[in-house]
Amino acid sequence: MSPLCPLCNRYHAVNTPCTGFPRSDVCTVHDRQINDESKYLIPTFVNDTETAALRDSGCQTPVLVDVSLVNQEQIIPRKSVKLCGAFDSKFREFPVATITLKCPRIGIHENMVVQAVVVTLNGNANCIIGNQIFSNFDFLTDIFSTRHCDYDVAEQTPTRSEGAGVIAQ
């Protein structure tokens, strides 16, 4: 049986393109939650397996992949990294593997060989794309638009009357 698609919450063959549209039948709260989260997921291929990635601007590693997408022979012997998550109080050691990554949304249109940290991910994303991959490969296009700030933010913070706290529509 095909795996559950994290984008549409349906079962379909891996080689079948996903429309990303939710099912048209009655949805449970869990189904709606999955579909709400899917708008933040990027269709990605890890080792030729279609999956979903999350772009994490707080992640300083290039790529994190779920252990289920990595073959044992892809793990690089005696190579590991120590990471500390946002809500962890101590560093943990994780293996590094050589994988193939394809993610057209960020400019990887063909399989590209990269090193990734192998972790156990919970949720709908089996891959996390961190900041360092964009530093390592300057031809990639980040989905986040960044600007350089030339002034001291503390001195230039707008007041409420100037639009502070207002969300643009």
CATH 2.40.70.10 fits 43-143, yes or no: yes
The per-residue pLDDT for 37 is: 60
Question: Which parts of the chain are beta strand (E)?
Answer: 41-46, 49-55, 63-66, 75-83, 92-103, 108-119, 127-129
Task: State residue 144's pLDDT score.
Answer: 75
Q: What is the pTM of this model?
A: 0.65
Determine the pLDDT at residue 147. Answer: 55
> In this predicted structure, what is the pLDDT of residue 84?
85
| pLDDT at residue 16, as a whole number | 66
Question: What is the three-class DSSP state of 35?
Answer: helix
In the chain, where the domains are located: 1-39, 43-143
pLDDT at 124: 84
Enumerate residue ranges in the chain where pLDDT < 50. 21-34, 158-169
